Structure 1
Amino acid sequence: MNILIVHAHPEPQSFTSALKDAAVADLSAAGHSVVVSDLYAMGFNPVASAADFGSRGDADYLNYALEQRHNVKAASLAPDIAAELEKIQAADLVLLSFPLYWFSVPAILKGWIDRVFVSGIVYGGRRIYDGGGLKGKRAMAIVTTGGRDHMLSPGGIHGDLTETLKPLLQGSLGYAGMTVLPPFYGYHVPYIGAEAREAVLANFRAQLAAIDSREPLVMPSLADFDAEMKPL
C-alpha cells in the first residue's frame, strides 16, 4: 500500500511528531511504501494566489478554482502544487498529522488543502463525495490537543471533536471522494507525563495496526440527490 503522511507541526520533538514517526516506522516495517510531506520542514507556502498558475484563463480577474481547472488542462500548475498532487494521486491512504488549532487545522495544512485539492482533478461539478476525484483512497486524521477528552466529547464544554472537525473530515476529505476513517485523538498531550504519553503512543500504534478494520465515517451519496443536488 502507498501511504502519504501530511505532517503539520513546527517542532520535530513534539508528541505530534512522535506519532508521525511511529506511523512511518510501523507502516514501513509492515511493508508499505510511506512518503512524508513535512509541511513546516518543506517551507510549504500555504497562500493561494495567482502565482500558483503558469498561465491564465482570465488575466484580468482571478477566480482561483477556474484557474486551477485551466492550469490542469495546460499542465501549468506551480511545481510545488504539482508535486503534492502527484503524491496524493499515488497514495492509497493519506494520513494528516497535526495539532488542533482553534478547533481546526494549522494554517499551513489548510493552505495545503486549498492549493493542492485542485478543481478539475480532485473536485468540481458532480465530482464530489462518492463521485469525487479521490474516490478509492482512504484518509485519517491524527490529531493532538491540549484539551482533555471529556472537554472534547458529546456533552463536553467544547462538544464532540469529530463533529467540530466536520469541515475537514466531510468538507475536504469526504467531499473529495475519500473514504474517511475515524480520527485518532491524543488528548492533553502538552500536560501529561512520559508514562501517559507512552500509553497514548501505544494506543495509536495498535489502532494503526488495525486500520483495515476501522469503520469509515458516513458521507453523503450522490445517489440520494437529483441533478440539482436536491434530496430525492
Structure 2
Amino acid sequence: MQNIAVVTGASSGIGAATARRLATEGFHVVAAARRADRLAALVREIGPASTAVECDVTSDESVAGLVSSVAALGGPVTLLVNNAGGAHGLDPVESGPVEDWQWMYDVNVLGTLRVTQGLLPALVASGRGTIVTVGSTAAFTAYEGGGGYAAAKHAQNALVGTLRLELSGKPVRVMEIDPGMVRTDEFSLNRFGGDQTRADAIYDGVKEPLVADDIADCIAFMATRAHHVNIDRLVIRPLAQAAQHKVHREK
C-alpha cells in the first residue's frame, strides 16, 4: 500500500488542488470534506490513488469515522494536511455576530484539533509522519473587519506551535503554511454569504492573486523534503501583496 495522505476540506479550492498534487507525488490520498458529491467527482478524476471520505471536522463522531476509514485502508499514514477552515463575515468587533466567531473557531481551531488528535497515533506509528496545517497571514496580522478570523487563525497557529514542542523527539514533523491573498472559487464567496459582488471586490485590480495550485505546490514541496527537514512556517503572498494592508491594484 502507498503512503497515505489525508487532506481535509478537499471538496474545493486549496484542498482539492492539494489532493490532486499529492497523488502525483505518489501518495494514496484520502480526500475528506462534507460534500460527498464533490468528493466523488474528485476521486474519479484522480483515480485509484484516492479515497473519498465524507467528514465534518466540527463533529467528533464524523472525525472518528474518518479515522476508522483511514485505518481500514491498511497503509502507513505519513501525511495529514489540515486544510479545512474558512471565514464568515467582515464585521467590526463591536457588531460581529457571535455565531460567526463561534463557527470560525470551531472549524479552524477545533477542527484542526479533532483531526490531528484522531490521526496522530497513526502518524507516529508510521515512523515518518508529517502534519501540514494551512493557516493564513491573519495568523500573525490583525486587520479591520477580520477580528473573528484573525483570532481563530492566531489560535490555530498557537495550537501548531505547541504541538511541535510537545512532539519533540517523536518522528512527526509539524509544519504550517500561511497564505496571503488566494483567489479560489469559494473562500470569499462563503465569507460574504454568497454575495458575488463583494467577493469579487476583494481581488479588484489585483493582476495575479495566488491560486489554489500555488498553495498545493508549496504543500507538496514541504511534505516531500527529507524527513529530517522541518519547515516550521512558510508565508506565501502574491507579488502584488507586500503586506496584509499593502496590495497593489491596477487602475
**TM-score normalised by the chain length of structure 1:** 0.49
Higher strand proportion, which one? Answer: 2
Q: Which has the greater radius of gyration?
A: 1
**TM-score normalised by the chain length of structure 2:** 0.46
